[in-house]
Structure 1
Amino acid sequence: MSSTHDLKTTWQDRLAAQWTTVKPLAIMLVIGLIAGPLISNYVGWQVTRGSADRQSNASAVDQQAMICSAQAKLENGDPGALDWSARRELAEKHAVMPGRTTADSGVVNACINKLMAT
Structure 2
Amino acid sequence: MTTMLDRKTSWQDRLAYQWGVLKPFALVLALGLVAGPLISNYMGWQVTSGAANRENHAVAVRQQAMVCDAMARSDTPNASTLDWGARRSLAEKFAVMPGRQEAESGVAMACSEMLARP
Same fold per superposition (TM over 0.5): yes
Q: Secondary structure at the match of 1:7?
A: coil
The structure carrying a bigger helix percent of its residues is 1
What residue identity is the alignment partner of 1:47? V
Q: Distance in 1 between matches of 2:28 and 2:70?
A: 58
Note the residue ranges of structure 2 that are not aligned, 5 or more in a row.
1-6
Report the aligned-residue RMSD: 1.6
Structure 1 gaps, min length 5: 1-5
SS at match of 1:55: helix
- TM-score normalised to structure 1 length: 0.86
Deviating 4+ runs (over 2 angstroms): 11-21
Letter matched to residue 28 of structure 2: M
Q: Which amino acid aligns with 2:115?
A: L
Distance 2:14 2:88 in 1: 81
Distance 1:56 1:36 in 2: 27
Would you say 1:43 and 2:43 are equivalent positions?
A: yes
Percent of paired sites with the same residue: 56
How far the C-alpha of 1:39 sits from its partner, in A, is 1.6
TM-score, normalised with respect to structure 2: 0.86
